[in-house]
Amino acid sequence: MPKPLVQLVVAYSDNHVIGRDNALPWRLPADLAHFKRVTLGQPIVMGRNTWESLGRPLPGRPNLVISRNAQYQANGATVYPTLDAALAASQNAERICIIGGEQIFRHALDIADEVVATEVHAHIEGDTFFPPMDMAAWRETERLPQPEENGYSFDFVTYKRRATQQQA
């Protein structure tokens, strides 16, 4: 069976902000609809803070939460002690969607195959960030500019990991 494709699904501003006060710093319904299209039917893997910011499991997708607290209970989700354990539990999936937040993206960027990014063209105040991407390792394969919403313009962008010497 082929290994699932590992995707990071993220929305970040020009200065790479993803969150503020454990919430999203913008309201972009078209981005939420895009997020749903990308993730529906696939396992979504998230850190405990992101889980708490959602406040409920997202329907139609297995919800996997990562926490070091072995006692942590997440109603409607399964809790794993590490990212690796969550990935190992999802090997039957076609894709695994890692949906944040900052701590989880920092672990996962090295092992992801794709980044499905919403690039919000604004400088935003925030407290959590998407890590910088080394463009020697990634190539942009798609960019779809979206109509402005709530004063924000944004693009849906796909980055794929470049093939290494051994893979090529």
Ligand X SMILES: NC(=O)c1ccc[n+]([C@@H]2O[C@H](COP(=O)([O-])OP(=O)(O)OC[C@H]3O[C@@H](n4cnc5c(N)ncnc54)[C@H](OP(=O)(O)O)[C@@H]3O)[C@@H](O)[C@H]2O)c1
Instruction: Give contact residues for ligand X (rule: CB under 6 A).
Output: 10-11, 18-19, 22-24, 46-50, 53, 66-69, 72, 81-82, 99-104, 107, 128
The helix (run of H) or strand (run of E) holding residue 80 is: strand 78-80
Nearest approach, Cβ of 117 to ligand X (angstroms)?
8
Q: Which residues contact 4 (CB under 8 A, 6 or more apart)?
A: 90, 91, 92, 93, 94, 95, 96
At closest approach, how far in Å is the CB of 109 from ligand X? 12
CA distance 89 to 62: 11
Cβ proximity to ligand X: between 37 and 164 the closer is 37
Measured from the CB atom, the residue of 22 and 165 that comes closer to ligand X is 22
Give the residue with the Cβ less far from ligand X, 2 or 132.
Answer: 132
In the complex, the smallest distance separating the C-beta of residue 91 from ligand X, rounded to whole angstroms, is 19
Give the whole-angstrom CA distance, residue 151 versus residue 20: 18
Name the pairing type of β-strands 63-66 and 128-129: unpaired
